[in-house]
Structures are given as C-alpha cells and as structure tokens.
Amino acid sequence: MIQKSPSFLIILSAPSGGGKSTILNEILKISDNVDYSVSFTTRKPRGVEQNGIHYHFVDETEFKKRIDDGDFLEYANVFGNWYGTSISYIKARLAAGKHVIMDIDVQGASLISATDVPYVKVFIIPPSMDVLRERLVLRATDSAEEIAKRLNTAKDELAFIPHYDYLVVNDDLQQAVSDVQAIIRAEENRVNRYIEPVEGFLTQEKHND
C-alpha cells in the first residue's frame, strides 16, 4: 500500500492588515484536517480576544521561562511584544495526522525554515499599498499612529517574499481562500511526502496476486 506522511505546517505571513487572520479562519471553517496553532504572546488581549483561543496571553517572565525551557519552535519580537509558537503542541497535532496552520511574522517564519519540521510558507499580499491602508483604516483596531507604523513595517516585510514558497494576492477573499486551499492540496501530494512509494506500490501488487 502506498503511504504518506501527510502532515505539515501551513505558515501564513502578511503585512499587518494583509488578511492572514481572515483567510486562516476561512480555511479552518472548511477543513477538518487543519488545526490552528495558538501562539503565546506578551501583548494584552484586544477586543473580543480570549485566552487560549486567540492567544495564550502571558507576561514577560513566563515568556522568557518558556524560551529557556526550549518550549518554542520559533519566537520573535513584533511591534514591541513577544510572540512564540509552542513546539509540543505542533508536534502532537502533526503526529495526530493534522496540518497545523499559523500566522506568524517574517522573522519567525525564517526561523522555522531552519528546523526539521515539514512546512509550506505562504505570503499573503493585498493588491496594493493603498488597499492595505484602506483595510487597516476600515478594520478600526489601530490608531492612526499605529497604522502608519504598520505600513512602514510592511515595506520591510515585503523583502522576505523570495523566502516563501507561494504568494497569494488577497484581492477577492474567496479567490484567496481557494488559492490557499489549492496550495494545501498540492503540498499533500509532493513526492517527498510519500514513504517509499515504489515499494508501497509493489507490495500492493503482491497482495493482489
């Protein structure tokens, strides 16, 4: 029988306001083989955010302890707060046969490339800087000063695009979600996800004799 090692990390990065949370939530709604990696952060909860669902909200002392204990697959400081991905959660979900989707910044994504965890990295970009600005304003979660900071950072983040496997333009939302879904399907069928496919194929043949 032909067997696969099918699980991998689906890493979404985008400039703030690029649409990664929106796309990620749509993917979670339509996929039963994808789990969300809830990050740890030292930032304070915003609006309706709940501890353990949107983030694990911790203080700096606990975050630093987790770094020292080797609990993070990657971590980074973004806009003055610490964010990190739990290695034990990721490994448990991958072992259970689930893909794990996460939205992490470009620094964290480059650290994951250096690990032996299988992944696909997708960069999401709105159609233009003007659209990005408009969406940040419409989202109404950040002050004018914060929005200016995010737009400035966006320019630096775009320089990381060549380190990603795929680039999805988030113009029409449904199209962007469908593109990410297609990427997941394609990745599931990468040759290196199969465990000795030729041997598997030949074994099957013997069973049928």
Site for ligand 5GP, rule CB under 6 A: 16, 39, 43, 74, 76, 78, 83-85, 103-105, 107-108
Q: Which residue type does 173 have?
A: L
Q: Report residue 113 CA to chain centroid gap.
A: 13
Nearest residue (CB) to ligand 5GP, 157 versus 179: 157
Per-residue string for binding with ligand ADP, 111-150, x by CB under 6 A? ------------------------x--xx-----------
Amino acid at 90: I
Tokens of 170: 């988030």
Residue whose C-beta lies closest to ligand 5GP:
108
Does position 21 bind ligand ADP by CB under 6 A? yes
- For strand 119-125 and strand 9-13, is the pairing parallel, antiparallel, or unpaired? parallel
Name the DSSP letter for residue 196. S
The reply on whether position 98 binds ligand ADP by CB under 6 A is no
Sheet with 99-103, edge to edge strand ranges: 34-36, 99-103, 9-13, 119-125, 166-169
**100 vs 182: CA distance, rounded Å:** 16
User: If DSSP codes are grouped into helix, strand and coil, which group holds residue 121?
Assistant: strand
Q: In this structure, which amino acid lies at residue 25?
A: N
Q: Which does 168 bind (CB under 5 to 8 A by kind): ligand 5GP, ligand ADP, none?
A: none
Q: How far is the CB of 139 from ligand ADP (least distance, A)?
A: 4
Report the nearest approach of ligand 5GP to the CB of residue 114 (Å). 13
**Residue 26 binding result from ligand ADP, ligand 5GP, none, given CB thresholds of 5 to 8 Å by partner type:** none
Residues in the chain: 209
Which residue from 7, 10, 11, 18 is in contact with ligand ADP, where contact means CB under 6 A? 18
Residue 37 binds to ligand ADP (criterion: CB under 6 A):
no
Q: Is 30 exposed, middle or buried (0-12, 13-18, 19+ CB in 10 A)?
A: exposed
42 binds, among ligand ADP, ligand 5GP, none (CB under 5 to 8 A by kind): none
Site residues (vs ligand ADP, CB under 6 A): 14, 16-22, 135, 138-139, 170, 173, 176
